[in-house]
Amino acid sequence: MNDYRELEDTVATWAREAGALALELERGHGTLRYKAGREAVTDADGLIEIMLRERIATSFPGDAVVGEEMGAGAGADTAARVWHLDPIDGTLNYALGLPDFCISIALFVDGEPRTACIHQPIGGDMWTASRNEGTRRNGESVTVGKCRSLADAMVSVQPRKRGRLGRDPHLLQALLLESHKFRKVGAIALEMAWTAAGAYDGLIIASRGAIPFHDVAAGILLISEAGGVITDGRGQPYRRGGHELVAGNAAVHRDLLELLGRFPEPG
């Protein structure tokens, strides 16, 4: 067992504490507001991020932190170890009293994911992964699904309004018609966890600008350690700042890329 596998248990403890705080705050601090880009936010998002930053600072005082609500801390651009936090992914769901929201935590070292955790407070599911140690759901090993074609696949589809899926109705229709089913629950990190554990067979995100990294940082490690494939929309390795992400088992990932290739990006 490597050091990151041991760290995984610590991160899961932080996520569980953050989930309990989210449930405690849901009624009193779940008042919905909107920030730039019409992104939902509540007081609870900030309070949970503060708590997670405090846990990291106590345990790893030299590490940098980048969070959705407070941005990059000092030295984040040059630090070898950087934590990426989404205190509540699916904030709109959280504010509306819907169960599909989660806490997402990931540690990157020298630009590569090493430990990740996604926790859904309602229901209590915890997905964790460490580099070269696999992915677990509630402590039990999981892998991506075994679906062999897009026609039989359940796919998470994230059609951002200005991205390729939002601007090309023919592409969106093709995804609808050529997959078995697709879903969008409004919490990308959670849907990446479901993809890692085989509940979904594939996932596609298409944005005009950079995909917010806090949405996908933990899910990248969960899916790759579960045996999945993650690339950009052209089949190249996904990099932070990319505007498209395609993930799934090898067969569904291949079919999703083939479908995208039939619909060039709008100018």
Question: pLDDT (tens digit, 9 = 90+) per residue, 107-146?
Answer: 999 999 999 999 999 999 999 999 999 999 999 999 999 9
| Inter-residue contact 68 to 83 (CB < 8 Å) | no
Last residue of a domain, one of 121, 142, 163: 142
Domain with 117 in it: 3-142
- Give me the torsion for CA of 164, 167, 171, 176, rounded to 10°: 110
Is residue 98 domain-shared with residue 119, that is, in the same domain? yes
Q: What is the mean pLDDT of residues 60-86?
A: 90
Residues 114 and 176 in one domain: no
CB 62, CB 81: distance < 8 Å: yes
Q: Do β-strands 135-137 and 140-142 pair in parallel, antiparallel, or remain unpaired?
A: antiparallel
Q: Do the domain assignments include residue 15?
A: yes
pTM of the model: 0.93
Burial (CB count <10 Å: 0-12, 13-18, 19+), residue 230: buried
pLDDT, one tens digit per residue, over 158-192 is 887 777 888 899 999 999 999 999 999 999 999 99
As a whole number of Å, the end-to-end CA separation of the chain is: 49
User: How far, CA to CA in Å, does 118 sit from each of 79, 91, 103, 241?
Assistant: 23, 15, 6, 21
Using a pLDDT cut of 90, give the percent of the chain over it.
76
Name the domain boundary from 93, 108, 142: 142
Q: 181 with 98, same domain?
A: no
Is the same domain home to 85 and 164?
Answer: no
- Count helices and strands in the chain by DSSP H and E runs: 8, 15
Closest CA to 21 of 83, 103, 117: 103
User: Does 107 lie in the same domain as 44?
Assistant: yes
| 199 within a domain of the structure (yes/no) | yes
Do 126 and 156 fall into the same domain? no
Segment 77-101, tens digit of pLDDT? 889 999 999 999 999 899 888 999 9
Amino acid present at 252: V
Total domain count for the chain? 2
Radius of gyration of the chain (CA): 18
- Are 118 and 14 found together in one domain? yes
User: Do both 137 and 192 map to the same domain?
Assistant: no
- Tell me, yes or no, whether 37 and 133 share the same domain: yes
CA 66 to chain centre: 15
pLDDT digits (tens, 9 = 90+) for 196-245: 999 999 999 998 889 999 999 999 999 999 999 999 999 999 999 999 99
Q: Give the domain-ending residue among 112, 142, 172.
A: 142
CA–CA separation, 259 and 214 (whole Å): 27
> Would residue 266 count as lying in a domain?
no
Give me the pLDDT at residue 31, please. Answer: 62
Strands 102-109 and 71-72: unpaired
DSSP SS3 for 21 = helix
CATH number at residue 47: 3.30.540.10
Looking up residue 178, the CATH number of its domain turns out to be 3.40.190.80
* 71, part of any domain: yes
Please name the amino acid found at residue 53. Answer: R
pLDDT over 60 (residue 30) = no
90 shares a domain with 13: yes
Question: Would you say residue 249 lies in a domain?
Answer: yes
Residue 213 confidence (pLDDT): 96
Supply the pLDDT for residue 1.
44
Confidence of residue 38 (pLDDT cuts 50, 70, 90): low
12 with 135, same domain: the answer is yes
Are 11 and 126 in a shared domain?
A: yes
Burial class (CB in 10 A: 0-12, 13-18, 19+), 38: exposed
- What mean pLDDT is reported for the chain? 92
